[in-house]
Amino acid sequence: MTLPAPELLLTPNTQVRRAVRRLRWFRRAFLEQVAVISEDCGIPFDIDTIRLADAFLEWSAAFERKKPTSRADKRRYVDHVSGLMLEQLLRKAPLSARCGDKAPNDATPAQLWPEGYACVVFCLNVRAAVLAQDFGVQVEDAPQMESLRDWMSFRENVAETPENAISFLQHFAGLKPDWQFPSLFQPSPRQSPPQLTLVHAPNQPVLQTLPADLSLVVFDLNAVSNSRALVAQALAHVLGRYGYALSDELIDQPLAAAMTFVALRSGKLCPGSFTEYFRNAMSEIFAAQLQLSPLAQGVLAELSSKGVKLRIAVDDSKISVSEVANLLSPDGHIGFYEAPEPEGRIASGKARLWVSADAPRLQSARKNGFQTLGIADQDGRKPEYSDQTILSLTEFPEVPR
């Protein structure tokens, strides 16, 4: 199957990467795409151009907000931003198929879900045009596009969670999607999730169960959410305003380190607006994308069901504790505080556990009477000061019954 494409997307003199960022061209290309699909499938459509414009504006804003500064990330960003386009088209729903009184025919994806099919084909064609023009990559149709089972799952999933459209577009493009955090663009391949393997010293027993008298478990924010990647995204965005790319070591450092980074390279004091730009970017990105990982949600739910108190530690000047608490636990079910927790604020006499990938945090937790559970990095290196080490929450010890 070759996806039907409008002539406008095939015009050799048009640089699609730039043209698609203009509303007039975007609208014309989409209308022509729908006309081609309508003729190909025999399905007429009604188009709400106001909703179409809204979808474009939302997509364009997201495009700018997440745009990477590193040239190495540009190719991967095409895949991500094509999914963002599909997400907004499905959210705004500018298309309505006129099927008349005929009984629905689910023999093809276009007949199963005409509106979704038209939007997917448009986004895949835009992606293919940009990849061909800017990167010399010729894409082929993926077999997933013809799977009715995948299309039924697609329609059901995006109805409940629209951002899943990003993952499904990558799936239909023949890529390996990120099903956990579809709306998050990782600025560097080195941010990819670690292999789910338990690592420990040969002479160190594996912690298979938690202490029977466990009363409190504290998780660092980075251990249970996508916060670290979001900080990297915000830093990359702000540094890009001054013409600099994000270096990995800045992600886990205080904001002052990034300001010093700019000052040393520019030869003058970092602009006072740097902090304001960063905090605005952080608030916007966190509000839109911060979330607990599904693995963390399962672990937290199990611990809570056993009567264990839960806390998430936010030890970062980049974002306030109250802001994170409102986003991750609006009902107050989970406690939050700045880490490390001062000794004496929690009643002693029962076992307490601190979970982190950060060695200084684990060291401080030990000093405050916590047992420590470290999370190793993607290369299997365990942090210092961890009593036991796992590579992901998949290997979290059993909760005592």
Q: Where in the chain is the domain with CATH 3.40.50.1000?
A: 214-225+291-395
* Burial of 299 (C-beta count, 10 Å sphere; 0-12/13-18/19+): buried
Q: Are 311 and 219 in contact (CB under 8 A)?
A: yes
Residue 92: what pLDDT? 96
Q: Where in the chain is the domain with CATH 1.10.150?
A: 228-289
User: For the residues 40-59, what does the mean pLDDT come to?
Assistant: 93
The pTM (predicted TM-score) of the whole model is: 0.52
Q: Are 148 and 141 in contact (CB under 8 A)?
A: no
Classify domain 228-289 at the CATH topology level.
DNA polymerase; domain 1 (1.10.150)
Q: Which residues contact 344 (CB under 8 A, 6 or more apart)?
A: none
Q: Are 373 and 224 in contact (CB under 8 A)?
A: no
CATH of 214-225+291-395, one of 3.40.50.11540, 3.10.20.740, 3.40.50.1000, 3.40.190.10: 3.40.50.1000
Q: How many helices (H) and strands (E) does the chain have?
A: 16, 8
CA 239 vs CA 160, 251, 300, 318: distances in Å: 35, 12, 35, 15
Identify the three-state secondary structure at position 169.
helix
Strands 371-375 and 388-390: what pairing?
parallel
Q: Are 166 and 182 in contact (CB under 8 A)?
A: yes
Q: What is the mean pLDDT of the chain?
A: 83
Please give the span between the terminal C-alpha atoms of the chain, in angstroms, as a whole number.
Answer: 55
Residue 112 binned pLDDT confidence (cut-offs 50, 70, 90): very high
Residue 194 binned pLDDT confidence (cut-offs 50, 70, 90): very low
CA dist., res. 393 & res. 399, Å (int) = 13
Highest mean pLDDT among 124-128, 141-145, 197-201, 308-312: 124-128
